[in-house]
Structures are given as structure tokens and as C-alpha cells.
Amino acid sequence: MKSLKKFDPEIYKTILDEARRENDNLELIASENFANEHILEAQGSVLTNKYAEGYPGARWYNGCRNVDIVEEIAIARAKKLFGAEHVNVQPHAGTPANMVVYFAMLNIGDTVMAMDLACGGHLSHGNPHNFSGKFYKIVPYGVDRKTERLDYEEIARLAKQHKPRMIIAGASAYPRAIDFKAFRTIADSVGAYLLVDIAHIAGLVAAGVHQSPVPYAEFVTSTTHKTLRGPRGAFIMCKSEFAKKIDMEVFPGAQGGPLMHIIAAKAVCFKEAMTPEFKTYQKQILKNAKVFSDEMAKLGYRIVAGGTDTHLFLVDLTNKFMTGRDAATALDRAGITVNKNLIPYDPKSPLVASGIRIGTPAVTTRGMKEAEMVKIAHMIGEVLTDPNNERNLIAVKKEVGGLVKKFPLYKDLIRRLEKE
Ligand SMILES: *Cc1c(COP(=O)(O)O)cnc(C)c1O
């Protein structure tokens, strides 16, 4: 980044500082990950210069021969990786990808069933401030109060009662495996479309360690930057019969020119996801989450839904007389990054919340395994036992420093930047 350093030292410095921050902290936000350098290189390329409205072989602009190849490769790889009939790799992010499916298949005012945000759903599944909550009649389904798991019989009952035109499965903060086949049966029982949003679990699905929704759902949306560990972006998979509708709704419906540099990085991400190493990585994410949540439970913390089948788990802090917000703030000061999170049927507001969400994708990318998860659980325990004790926080931060040093991140990149 020599030319950036020369032209804009302020921005250069913040990029270097961010690389250092990522290296120096323990990143446990479940939706975050660290893209490999081959992804960053594709993302930072001259492909950012090219306008390519339309699709490969049918663009509105000339000069698209190289970007056509890039997009064709990205599509072919995604189809192979997930076994999808049709893929659109142009959506800029997960929320617009969901918007495309809504706009393509629904009329304003139609009924949509989706997971309650307070039980782990995403804002694009019906938050009243989001387009989804404004344009459609949202019928939320939650989790069972006792088991804190999806209750498929109850979802089936709600579907019969409300006759939705579309049912959405998928979540941002649900720790257990989701049965997409059961959702298909429910959707069929009322003639609804099924949209599955695998933004969080796409990496697990790609590696075959979580059931795939692709055989069961008409539409599957996903981001590329969470467990999939690619660039910030999204894509849509669908059955062939909806291909034209979805493509038209992405462009010209919802977007203009696609981000060809990001699409190139998505192609690289799909290639990476086909490697045996990626499969091993996803398996390790699951092992780490399980050991981590078990250890937290041993330390006396209540784990929502009794544990995890995925890359994340939720800790209920109610019995510790602490809010999610205060816990996340104290942990941040000790160099441990988590987010506050509502727990099912949380009496507190989302700004305060009774729990925290912990995810293992990013620390697993650094190479950490079960032994490190146990250590981190104890560090969290130390912080939360005495969250206002400054000396305690400093002591844990030192421990964090010692641990992250053994698992360096972007080592060569930081060294190169420092030498420039
Ligand atoms: C993260 C996420 C998205 C997409 O979010 P963007 O920030 O718009 O990319 C969509 N659905 C779910 C369930 C998510 O967790």
C-alpha cells in the first residue's frame, strides 16, 4: 500500500491500526471472520473500475470480456459448492439479497412468516424499521419457552392459521441446527414459498456439517463474509424456474452496476470453500463452540437452549445479575469482543439485553483449538465475576495479549505495512 501511504497517510494509518486491532483482540462476534489475503487481493483490484450492468454475455456496457469470465466462474463455483440450480452473485449484501426475493415473489401487504427478532431472527425478516416490516404483514414465530428450540408443530399451526405467502427460515442468533426439511413440509401444507437465509451458517452448509436447505427451498440467500470467510457481500440461490425473475429483480430491480471486484473475491471464496482444509476448518469451528459453551456452563453460566450445534452460543446473564450491555463493555476493555444479545423472551430492551452472543469462526481462523477455548472461557469468567475491577481487567487483557501472540493474524501483511 505504498501509494496509499504517500497520498493519504491518515487512511493508511487507520487501515494499519485496524489490522493491529484485529490481531491484538480476541474476536468472538459470531458474524465476523478474517478473510484470507488472496480474498483481500481480489477485492482490492482494478475490477472495481468496470461497469457491468446486466449479466455475462448480456451487458449494457462494452469491454466486459474479463469481468464476464469472473462472474461466470463465481456462478459455476457457487452452483457446484451448494448444488444449486441457479445462482446470482451480484447482491451487495445480505439485506438487499432478501429484499430481492421479497420483491420478486410477493405483493405489498402479503403475509410472511419469519423468526421473531427477539428469538434470533434478522432485521430483514420483519423489523418494523426495515422495508420487510413496513411492506409486509409479518407473522413472527419464536422458540419454545422451555427448550428455547424451534417448535415445528407450533410453526405448522401458525402457518395453517395465517396462510403466509412465504415462510422464512434462518437466523442470526439461534444456536441449534435448523431442520429445513421440516420447514419444507410446513410450507407445502399451506402452499407457501420457502426462503432460507443461511447468512450465518453458509460455511457450515458448504462443508456439509449442517443440513443444506438447497434441496428443500425455492430460494436460499446468504452472505459471503460470515462463516464462509469471503468478502463482504451476498448471493442468491434458487430453483431454475425462478431464475429469470430473481435476476431481473437484482438488476435492474434493486441494483445498478455489480461490484466486480467483490464478485471476483466471492469466486475466490467459493474456491477456498471447496478445499479439504475448509472442511476441517468448519468442523473445528463446531468443536470449538461446543467445548467453549460447555466450559461456560461449568463456570455456572446458563447457556440458552442448553448448548450449541453451530458456530455460536448465547449466554444468559440473568442469574449473574448483569446485563448483556455491561458484560460486553467490560469484556471489550479486557480485549475480548462479543456483542450483547437478546435471549428468548428477554424482558430487557435490545439496547441493554440479558445475554451475550459468542461465536468461534474468527478465533478458529487464527488456528485456536479446544484448549484455547477453555482458556478464553476462564478469561471471560474472570472479567464477569468482577466487571468493575480495573486491575482485574488489565490482568485479563495481558492474558489475552499472551494468547493472541501465539496465534498471529495477518502477520506478513502487518510486517509489510510496517516496513513501507
Ligand atoms: C448477517 C445477516 C444478514 C445480512 O446482513 P447484511 O449486513 O445486510 O449483509 C441477513 N440475514 C441474516 C440471518 C443475517 O444474520
Catalytic entry in 20, 32, 51, 152: 51
Mean pLDDT of 131-153: 96
| pLDDT value, residue 347 | 95
Contacts of 51 (CB under 8 A, 6+ apart): 60, 61, 257
**CA 50 → CA 19, 28, 62, 251, distances in Å?**
28, 36, 10, 16
Domain extents in the chain: 40-273, 281-416
Question: Is pLDDT at 6 greater than 90 in this prediction?
Answer: yes
Q: What spacing in Å lies between the alpha carbon of 407 and ligand 1's midpoint?
A: 28
Pocket of ligand 1, beta carbon within 6 A: 31, 93-95, 122, 124, 170-172, 197, 199-200, 223, 234
Residue nearest to atom 15 of ligand 1 (CA): 172
Per-residue pLDDT, 420: 83
What is the position in ligand 1's atom list of the atom closest to the CA of 95? 8
CATH superfamily name and code, 281-416: Aspartate Aminotransferase, domain 1 (3.90.1150.10)
152 belongs to the catalytic site:
no
In this model, does residue 233 exceed pLDDT 90?
yes
Centroid of ligand 1 to alpha carbon of 93 (angstroms): 7
193 is catalytic: no
CA of residue 100 to ligand 1 center, whole Å: 14
Q: How far is CA 122 from the centre of its chain?
A: 10
Average pLDDT over residues 139-145: 96
Nearest 5°: phi and psi at 234?
-155, 175
Nearest CA to ligand 1 atom 2: 199
How is domain 40-273 classified at the CATH fold level?
Aspartate Aminotransferase; domain 2 (3.40.640)
Structure confidence by residue, pLDDT tens digits, 69-110: 999 999 999 999 999 999 999 999 999 999 999 999 999 999
**Residue 23 in contact with residue 409, Cβ under 8 Å?**
yes
> Which ligand 1 atom sits closest to the C-alpha of 93?
9
Expressed in angstroms and rounded, the spacing between residue 272 Cα and the centre of ligand 1 is: 21
Which of 200, 224, 339 maximizes ligand 1 atoms within 8 Å of its Cβ, making it the mutation to test the pocket?
A: 200
Q: What is the pTM of this model?
A: 0.97
- Please tell me the distance between residue 32's alpha carbon and the centre of ligand 1 in angstroms: 11
Mean pLDDT of 29-40: 98
What is the mean pLDDT of the segment spanning 7-19? 96
The three three-digit cell numbers of residue 336, written as one number: 475480548
Ligand 1 atom closest to 171 (CA): 13
Measured between alpha carbons, how far is residue 77 from residues 12, 98, 265, 412 in Å? 34, 21, 12, 29
Q: How would residue 356 be classed by pLDDT, with cut points 50, 70 and 90? A: very high
Residue 181 annotated to the active site: no
- Residue 2 contacts residue 312 (beta carbons within 8 Å): no
Q: Model confidence over 159-208: pLDDT tens digits?
A: 999 999 999 999 999 999 999 999 999 999 999 999 999 999 999 999 99
- Residue 113 has phi, psi (to 5 degrees) of -100, 130
Judge whether 139 and 126 are in contact, CB under 8 Å.
no
Residue 368 confidence class, pLDDT cut points 50, 70, 90 = very high
14 catalytic? Reply is no
Q: Residue 223 catalytic?
A: yes
Closest atom of ligand 1 relative to the 226 alpha carbon: 1
H-run or E-run covering 299? none
The stretch 334-361 carries a mean pLDDT of 97
**C-alpha cell belonging to residue 357:** 452472543
Rounded to the nearest 5 degrees, what angle is found at the Cα of 121, between the Cα atoms of 117 and 123?
Answer: 70
What's the burial of 282, exposed, middle or buried (CB within 10 Å: 0-12/13-18/19+)?
A: buried
**Which residue has the CA at smallest separation from atom 1 of ligand 1?**
199
Distance between Cα 415 and ligand 1 center (Å): 33
53 labelled catalytic: yes
What the block records as the C-alpha cell of 205 is 452448509
- Sign of the torsion formed by the C-alpha atoms of 273, 275, 278 and 279: positive
Catalytic site residue from 20, 24, 32, 53: 53
pLDDT classification of 324: cutoffs 50, 70, 90? very high
Percent of the chain residues topping a pLDDT of 90 = 98
What is the arithmetic mean of pLDDT over 243-270?
Answer: 98
